Structure 1
Amino acid sequence: MKTTLALGALMLAAGLAPVHAADTDIRIVLSEELDLMEPCMATRSNIGRVILQNINETLTEYDTRGGQGVIPRLATSWEQKDDGGWRFHLRDGVTFSDGSTFDAADVKHSFDRAMSDQISCETPRYFGGMTVEATVVDDKTVDFSADPVQPILPLLLSLVTIVPSETPIEFTRQPVGTGPYELTDWSPGQQIVLTRRDGYWGEQPKVTSATYLFRTDPSVRAAMVAAGEADLAPSIADLDATNEATDFSYLNSETVYIRLDHTVAPVNDLRVRKALKMAIDREAFIGTVMADGTLLATALVPPTTAGWNPDVEPTAYDPEGAKALLEEARADGVPVDTPIKLIARTGNFPAVTEVGEAIQQMLTDAGFNIELQFLEVAEHEQYYSRPFPTSAGPYMLMAMHDNDKGDPVFTMFFKYDSEGRQSGTHDPKADELIAAASAATGEERAKLWSELMAYLYTDIAADIPLFHTVGFTRVGENLDFKPTIATNSQLQLSQIGFK
């Protein structure tokens, strides 16, 4: 007791408050609520920020902090076999939060469940254009075979969250995982609480519990941290990032874009798609509603990605040229005056409202008939992923896409293949390039990806890439945390310390 009192007195004399257990409970304020707590949906950024590697872990992990590439998580090692398949050796002594033991049967079930057509998981979109099968060798060994052979399968498996083999093939509201935390409260519209659990196989994190709060206004999120009502706001607006001690910018792997549906008039006409790109003055956003350092995009992957094509130039702002293309299309009977909805997601990024309103005005000035509509995440998803609504009429969808893995395979099939889950593109040459690049290795792989990017952007105007964004995070002065390129899609509580 004397030692405790003496330590407290010393800390007070130094201007510090004594540390109590509650000081390791933190509050995180996010921009949008979760509509699901399903592990196989953790590749969606709003869900991944809470679940991924906190509740549910993966066999492998892409290291965004140490730059080591693919590193072990629930698998300790792996090797490619003579037939092109891969063998994974699993970590021993791992248990789930329900007390059950982790083994190879859980890995196979998790993979088969995520890929099942009986459940609408996000994971299969990253495995498009290939057939992958998991086979149990023994309790601690799993083989994966792929057709065509997948040279980066260990990287792809960093997206497959592991659940117990007893998990039914239906969405769950109470995820069970091997991670250091478990879900202890989910009050929709109010909060989510994760609590550190005993029995975790790895080093115990310093954060004992995390309460997630939700506020759509970035200024409110920043103010909450400043006032001590929250400890961390992973996403704030650059205009609110005014305190060098607490506010940090970071390279973001998110790309803002507008998806176009090539099957619906008038967007099915190439001239109309090119006119849409020409009518948007993207440079006008940078340094105004978008932060300085924001890059104009020509692809849905950031410049740090293998095969990124530096020779593709952003479309120049040319409203008169856009009007001329529309008149040419009109003369050929294309219904260019048809109303087109521009659908965006509320709270998707800090300046989404201003960006949406400005683009609506720019397109209207060029002669388009644009109706702007903002939707919450669950309703937005109905327009984002197949099956698309059949009675919505012509619409364009503004969204953000995250690829922090360093390879376009995590983007190209599901965004651009004719069978892709979020693709509005139907082009045989694009399909062929995607298939060839996905199976290639080394320089040939990068060359094919580069060719595909030029073809999508220049030749067929597949969609409208807008910006590679810069992220801003406000970190409470009590926390030891720096954001990374992955912060918008996952937020590992184990990477948060205390000063």
Structure 2
Amino acid sequence: MSFSFSRSTRTPRAVVAGAAVAASAVLLLSSCSVANSEPTDGAGSADTIRIVLTQEPPTLEACEANLTSTGVVMRSNVTEPLVERNPTTGDLDPLLATSWEQTSDTEWTFTLRDDVTFSDGTPFNAEAAAFTIDRAVNSDLACNVEGYVFGDDDLVVNAVDDTTLTVTTVTPDPILPLRLSFLEIVPTATDATAKVREPIGTGPYAIAQWDAGTKLTLERNDDYWGDAPAFATAEYQWRSEGTVRAAMITSGEADIAMGLGPDDGAGDLGLDYPNNETVALRMTAEIAPLNDIRVREAVNYAIDKSGIIDSLYQGAHIAAAQLVPEGIVGHNADLEPWEFDVDKAKALVAEAKADGVPVDEKITIVARNAQFPKVSEMSQVLQEQLTQAGLNVELKMVDTTQHLQYQLRPFVDNEGAIALLIQHGNQAGDAQFSADQYMTTTGAQSVYGTEAFDALLEAASIKTGSERQAAYEDIFGYQNDEIVQFAFISHQTGVIGKTANVDYTPNSSSGDELRIAEITPVA
């Protein structure tokens, strides 16, 4: 199959509507300028866009840009991929690559733009693209994108000439261009043996200054190959409390606020949008008492999903029955969420105990601070509900760095049974990106699997069209019947806070990559 596009300049990508945030008047943000419509140098029509995040990015390393807290700043702002997925249509659009085709069962050929430079003035070419792929996928850097998107197999990359790149896979891969949309391209001068704090990219902005713990500033890249963004500067700050972020919007101290809850106080300045995020407990199914499927089933029956959604999120979320929401290839519309039945949960725990399962062994719910609105409250409710089912449950709230140690291989060891509260977003639009990392026996974020399930997953990965859809539908059904590694809770609806000074319509990708070029001032 082949895809070919031609564009002289980059056109704006579809966006989606956001939500509102908060802040207290005592926060030291008054010195930041409010977005306005005064022209600057003629290339744009505004000065500064001010954004408040839920947390400071742990890194800006390009190969970690699929992490939400990094990608929301970096992706398509500072760095760019070869191709990008349109979050509204699901189609792949050209970016640094203008066309691509599958030239054999295992080889794809990409034609690249010849008019792009990195923000430091070095040229973008096939050598830079090959270097980026090799650095992120084939090295020992342990980039999150490797485990999340590419798995264990290396890629063979070849810069045929300045504008021609070939990528060869070990086995046929019908969605390789989609995978490459997660790789942000960096120049060959980038350190290949260590992750970098502030990478160079080809995007409409460059990193100007990062004051750790305080503020991060991007400045417009005046040599950008595409259309110039409206704002000359983007300033990021971070506040963990949703009510604070919302107050910053209502008081005019920020223009965009991320990760708001429905009752954080943004009012009419809060915009709802479908964010493709699914919240679930991922259980270590090889450690007692979670190594007994009856206990894992009991966990599912013990969770009052509707009660959590209604009480904490004003009914805005949807009870989940699987890892991906509607709209993702492979979503199984026939699956129903586990019913809330405490008596059935208690009976399963009692049955397991009668058979010698040590159900009194501690289960620790591990959750990340500020991961999403009301995460602490949800975690406390989950602890109480699992306790009501007769399980011994403790709650451990951790920061981002600690959470990654539970989330990614190699996992934290010698802490007993863990029920990790995860928030998984499938921005790629295909179930394989969720299944490979969370369900295979060697998946980067999987703590349980079987050889039989691995075989089903491998067979599904090479299918296309309706056969691919049906295969992943079966996989999600099999997970619920035979594996039960997860207790699914909800498919979330995001909220972004936006002042009347700026125009922006959020989409399903906005929580992971907030594209500043798609935000414009209101005259």
Normalising by structure 2, report the TM-score: 0.89
From 221, 234, 245, the counterpart of 1:197: 221
Measured after TM superposition, the shift of residue 242 of structure 1 is 5.3
Alignment of 1:349-388 (within 5 A): 349-388=372-411
Secondary structure of the equivalent of 2:236?
strand
Please give the alpha-carbon distance, in whole angstroms, between the structure 2 residues aligned to 1:441 and 1:177: 33
The residue that corresponds to 1:497 in the other structure is 520
Please give the alpha-carbon distance, in whole angstroms, between the structure 1 residues aligned to 2:406 and 2:96: 35
Q: Count residues in correspondence.
A: 482
The residue that corresponds to 1:179 in the other structure is 203
Q: Report which stretch shifted further, 93-102 or 124-133.
A: 124-133
Secondary structure of the equivalent of 2:278?
strand
From 171, 181, 188, the counterpart of 2:212: 188
Alignment of 1:48-447 (within 5 A): 48-65=71-88, 67=89, 69-125=91-147, 126-128=149-151, 130-169=153-192, 170-240=194-264, 243-244=267-268, 246-447=269-470
Distance 1:120 1:68, change over 3 A: closer
Measured after TM superposition, the shift of residue 293 of structure 1 is 3.3
Please give the alpha-carbon distance, in whole angstroms, between the structure 2 residues aligned to 1:52 and 1:445: 28
Residue 354 of structure 2 aligns with an amino acid whose one-letter code is: A
Q: Report which stretch shifted further, 25-34 or 291-300.
A: 291-300
Measured after TM superposition, the shift of residue 20 of structure 1 is 5.6
Query: Contact conserved, 2:247 with 2:265, CA < 8 A, in 1?
Result: no
Residue 78 of structure 1 aligns with an amino acid whose one-letter code is: W
What per-residue deviation string (whole Å, max 9, x for no partner) do you get for residues 63-115 of structure 1? Answer: 124x2610001001111114442110001111111211111111111001101
Secondary structure of the equivalent of 1:450?
helix
Residue 145 of structure 2 aligns with an amino acid whose one-letter code is: T
What per-residue deviation string (whole Å, max 9, x for no partner) do you get for residues 319-347 of structure 1? Answer: 11111111111122211101111010101
Check if 1:453 corresponds to 2:476: yes
Please give the alpha-carbon distance, in whole angstroms, between the structure 2 residues aligned to 1:387 and 1:247: 39
Distance 1:38 1:112, change over 3 A: same
Q: Report which stretch shifted further, 326-335 or 357-366.
A: 326-335
Secondary structure of the equivalent of 2:248?
helix
Measured after TM superposition, the shift of residue 435 of structure 1 is 0.8
Please give the alpha-carbon distance, in whole angstroms, between the structure 1 residues aligned to 2:139 and 2:59: 18
The residue that corresponds to 1:38 in the other structure is 61
The residue that corresponds to 1:19 in the other structure is 38
Residue 116 of structure 1 aligns with an amino acid whose one-letter code is: N
Measured after TM superposition, the shift of residue 117 of structure 1 is 4.3
Please give the alpha-carbon distance, in whole angstroms, between the structure 1 residues aligned to 2:334 and 2:315: 23
Please give the alpha-carbon distance, in whole angstroms, between the structure 2 residues aligned to 1:458 and 1:489: 31
The residue that corresponds to 1:10 in the other structure is none
Please give the alpha-carbon distance, in whole angstroms, between the structure 1 residues aligned to 2:286 and 2:405: 18
Distance 1:292 1:138, change over 3 A: same
Measured after TM superposition, the shift of residue 400 of structure 1 is 0.4
Query: Contact conserved, 1:309 with 1:453, CA < 8 A, in 2?
Result: yes
Query: Contact conserved, 2:282 with 2:421, CA < 8 A, in 1?
Result: yes
Query: Contact conserved, 1:111 with 1:160, CA < 8 A, in 2?
Result: yes
Secondary structure of the equivalent of 1:159?
coil
Please give the alpha-carbon distance, in whole angstroms, between the structure 2 residues aligned to 1:222 and 1:174: 29
Please give the alpha-carbon distance, in whole angstroms, between the structure 2 residues aligned to 1:231 and 1:89: 38
Distance 1:363 1:178, change over 3 A: same
Report the identity percentage: 37
Query: Contact conserved, 2:53 with 2:259, CA < 8 A, in 1?
Result: yes
Please give the alpha-carbon distance, in whole angstroms, between the structure 1 residues aligned to 2:466 and 2:49: 45
Residue 305 of structure 1 aligns with an amino acid whose one-letter code is: I
Query: Contact conserved, 2:449 with 2:483, CA < 8 A, in 1?
Result: no
Q: Report which stretch shifted further, 339-348 or 421-430.
A: 421-430
Query: Contact conserved, 2:137 with 2:154, CA < 8 A, in 1?
Result: no
Distance 1:17 1:395, change over 3 A: closer
What per-residue deviation string (whole Å, max 9, x for no partner) do you get for residues 199-228 of structure 1? Answer: 111111001111111111111101001111
Please give the alpha-carbon distance, in whole angstroms, between the structure 2 residues aligned to 1:68 and 1:187: 36
Measured after TM superposition, the shift of residue 264 of structure 1 is 1.1
Higher-RCO chain (CA-CA 8 Å, sequence separation at least 6): 2
Query: Contact conserved, 2:81 with 2:96, CA < 8 A, in 1?
Result: yes
Please give the alpha-carbon distance, in whole angstroms, between the structure 1 residues aligned to 2:292 and 2:108: 44
Please give the alpha-carbon distance, in whole angstroms, between the structure 2 residues aligned to 1:440 and 1:156: 15
Query: Contact conserved, 2:281 with 2:486, CA < 8 A, in 1?
Result: yes
Residue 501 of structure 2 aligns with an amino acid whose one-letter code is: N
Please give the alpha-carbon distance, in whole angstroms, between the structure 2 residues aligned to 1:133 and 1:425: 30
Query: Contact conserved, 1:234 with 1:487, CA < 8 A, in 2?
Result: no
Secondary structure of the equivalent of 1:195?
strand
Please give the alpha-carbon distance, in whole angstroms, between the structure 2 residues aligned to 1:219 and 1:201: 39
Please give the alpha-carbon distance, in whole angstroms, between the structure 2 residues aligned to 1:382 and 1:370: 20
Alpha-carbon RMSD across the aligned residues, in angstroms, is 1.6
Please give the alpha-carbon distance, in whole angstroms, between the structure 1 residues aligned to 2:339 and 2:290: 20
Please give the alpha-carbon distance, in whole angstroms, between the structure 1 residues aligned to 2:104 and 2:337: 44
Secondary structure of the equivalent of 2:512?
coil
Normalising by structure 1, report the TM-score: 0.94
Query: Contact conserved, 1:241 with 1:248, CA < 8 A, in 2?
Result: no
Query: Contact conserved, 1:129 with 1:413, CA < 8 A, in 2?
Result: no
Secondary structure of the equivalent of 1:361?
helix
Secondary structure of the equivalent of 1:404?
coil
Q: Report which stretch shifted further, 374-383 or 113-122.
A: 113-122
Please give the alpha-carbon distance, in whole angstroms, between the structure 2 residues aligned to 1:196 and 1:291: 39
Residue 342 of structure 2 aligns with an amino acid whose one-letter code is: P
Please give the alpha-carbon distance, in whole angstroms, between the structure 2 residues aligned to 1:280 and 1:203: 49
Residue 213 of structure 1 aligns with an amino acid whose one-letter code is: Q
The residue that corresponds to 1:9 in the other structure is none
Check if 1:487 corresponds to 2:484: no
Secondary structure of the equivalent of 1:411?
helix
Please give the alpha-carbon distance, in whole angstroms, between the structure 2 residues aligned to 1:39 and 1:456: 33
The residue that corresponds to 1:11 in the other structure is none
What per-residue deviation string (whole Å, max 9, x for no partner) do you get for residues 368-392 of structure 1? Answer: 1111111111111111100011122
Please give the alpha-carbon distance, in whole angstroms, between the structure 2 residues aligned to 1:272 and 1:157: 39
Query: Contact conserved, 2:275 with 2:509, CA < 8 A, in 1?
Result: yes
Query: Contact conserved, 1:294 with 1:467, CA < 8 A, in 2?
Result: yes
Secondary structure of the equivalent of 1:76?
strand
Measured after TM superposition, the shift of residue 289 of structure 1 is 0.2
